[in-house]
């Protein structure tokens, strides 16, 4: 018996992400054993309770994970109100309710994950997890080194501050059959940790240039590789584990090191934090406001404070004042 929050049940069942599930609950579209549940704290056990969304029962499914090389011209959504072609039309696998992880705009292409695992979708797309996404970008003119530095420092676009995690020049890709990559004058590899709408296109436009081709080539440890445009394949269990680990490491949780594979490009171990640097100053005895300078050599005791000079007796001061006044 596993009693869980409804938004987690819907997410794990592949109905939606947790954020969308919360909206469904608040809208009164989720019921448990025939009773509408519109509170985010509502719980249920999918093994013993009947949970429905708009009257449709929610059932446990085996999670499936697919890597698609999205071609330009397809909409990244599960359903399109204008009846345009979507990325799900490219992965005809039966009655499994898949959804895309993240977004690629209609004219962009490259790596896209399709799954019914709502929890992994949240880990890979929520900004707080900062899972890296890498793009090959073809632009109409050569950017300067200063332009690349601006992309990392951040540029303003439509009232937002957009910033790349990294940006570097790249070689032109090999053209696939029927593909034209000769129109771009320059190529970049840009790394992002967020997924704002048309982020790279807006960043390049802020530099006075135009994106001619935009292709996602990496998501966390997962590479697009040589998968053909429009083709897809199912992820291996090891690749799924690596995606989970990448998101949880970014969150700062303790995770075992993933098994080595061609999808992991760097050491993911983290060193223990360095101890804090000792202060150059210490407070003097007696709680005075001035700070005494610490000893230059570790281990030596600090010199004792000098003894105060003896003050002259009041009579002596008076006599001294009389002598000064008599001069």
Determine contact, residues 18/7, Cβ cutoff 8 Å.
Answer: yes
Higher pLDDT, 202 or 284: 202
pLDDT greater than 90 at residue 83: no
Domains and CATH numbers, the chain: 4-57 (3.10.290.10), 65-127+227-251 (3.30.70.580), 132-219 (3.30.2350.10)
80-119 b/e (C-beta count within 10 Å ≥ 16 → b): eeeeeebbbebbeeeeeebbbbbebeeebbbbbbbbbbbb
Q: Is 140 labeled as catalytic in the residue annotation?
A: no
Q: Percentage of the chain surpassing pLDDT 70?
A: 73
pLDDT at 3 (0 to 100): 86
pLDDT at 33 (0 to 100): 94
Query: In this predicted model, what pLDDT tens digit does every residue of 27-68 receive, in sequence order?
Result: 999 999 999 999 999 999 887 899 999 999 988 767 899 999
How sure is the predictor about 196, in pLDDT bands with cuts at 50, 70 and 90?
Answer: confident
pLDDT at 327 (0 to 100): 43
pLDDT greater than 70 at residue 193: yes
Higher pLDDT, 312 or 244: 244
Higher pLDDT, 49 or 194: 49
pLDDT at 275 (0 to 100): 44
What the block records as the tokens of 257 is 């090191």
CA dihedral over 102, 104, 110, 114, signed as positive or negative: positive
pLDDT at 105 (0 to 100): 93
Higher pLDDT, 135 or 275: 135
pLDDT at 32 (0 to 100): 95
Interval 308-312 mean pLDDT: 56
> Apex CA 138: angle with CA 135 and CA 142, to 5°?
120
pLDDT greater than 90 at residue 122: no
pLDDT greater than 50 at residue 318: no
What the block records as the tokens of 239 is 């690749």
The model's pTM is 0.63
Catalytic residue from among 49, 80, 105, 241 = 105
What are the beta bridge partners of residue 110? 70, 216
Mean pLDDT of the chain: 79
Higher pLDDT, 235 or 116: 235
Sheet holding 30-32, edge to edge: 35-36, 30-32, 51-53, 56-57
pLDDT at 12 (0 to 100): 75
pLDDT at 252 (0 to 100): 60
Interval 18-26 mean pLDDT: 90
Query: In this predicted model, what pLDDT tens digit does every residue of 245-303 receive, in sequence order?
Result: 888 776 664 344 333 333 333 333 334 444 444 444 344 444 433 333 343 444 445 45
How sure is the predictor about 175, in pLDDT bands with cuts at 50, 70 and 90?
Answer: confident
pLDDT at 251 (0 to 100): 60
H helix or E strand, kind and range, residue 155: strand 155-157
pLDDT at 290 (0 to 100): 38
pLDDT at 221 (0 to 100): 95
Interval 66-95 mean pLDDT: 91
């Amino acid at each position: 018996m596993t009693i869980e929050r409804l938004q987690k049940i819907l997410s794990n069942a592949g109905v939606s992400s947790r954020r969308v599930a919360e909206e469904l609950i608040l809208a009164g579209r989720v019921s448990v054993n025939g009773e509408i549940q519109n509170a985010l704290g509502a719980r249920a056990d999918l093994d013993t309770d009947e949970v429905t969304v708009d009257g449709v029962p929610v059932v446990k499914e085996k999670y499936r994970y697919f890597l698609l090389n999205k071609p330009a011209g397809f909409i990244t959504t599960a359903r399109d109100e204008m009846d345009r072609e979507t990325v799900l039309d490219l992965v005809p696998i039966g009655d499994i309710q898949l959804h895309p992880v993240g977004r690629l705009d209609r004219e962009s292409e490259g790596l896209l994950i399709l799954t019914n695992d709502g929890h992994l979708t949240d880990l890979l797309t929520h900004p707080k997890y900062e899972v890296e996404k890498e793009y090959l970008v073809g632009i109409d003119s050569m950017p300067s080194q200063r332009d690349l530095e601006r992309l990392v420092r951040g540029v303003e676009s439509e009232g937002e501050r957009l910033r790349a995690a990294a940006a570097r020049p790249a070689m032109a890709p090999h053209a696939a059959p029927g593909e034209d990559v000769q129109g771009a004058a320059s190529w970049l590899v840009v790394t992002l940790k967020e997924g704002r709408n048309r982020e790279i296109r807006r960043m390049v436009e802020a530099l006075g240039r135009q994106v001619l081709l935009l292709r996602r080539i990496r998501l966390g440890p997962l590479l697009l590789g040589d998968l053909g445009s429009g083709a897809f394949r199912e992820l291996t269990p090891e690749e799924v584990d690596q995606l989970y680990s990448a998101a949880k490491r970014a969150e700062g949780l303790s995770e075992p090191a993933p098994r080595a594979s061609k999808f992991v490009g760097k050491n993911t171990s983290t060193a223990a934090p360095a101890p804090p640097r000792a202060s150059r100053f210490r407070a003097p005895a007696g709680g005075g406001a001035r700070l005494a300078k610490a000893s230059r050599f570790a281990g030596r005791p600090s010199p004792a404070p000098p003894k105060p000079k003896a003050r002259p007796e009041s009579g002596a001061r008076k006599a001294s004042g009389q002598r000064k006044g008599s001069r």
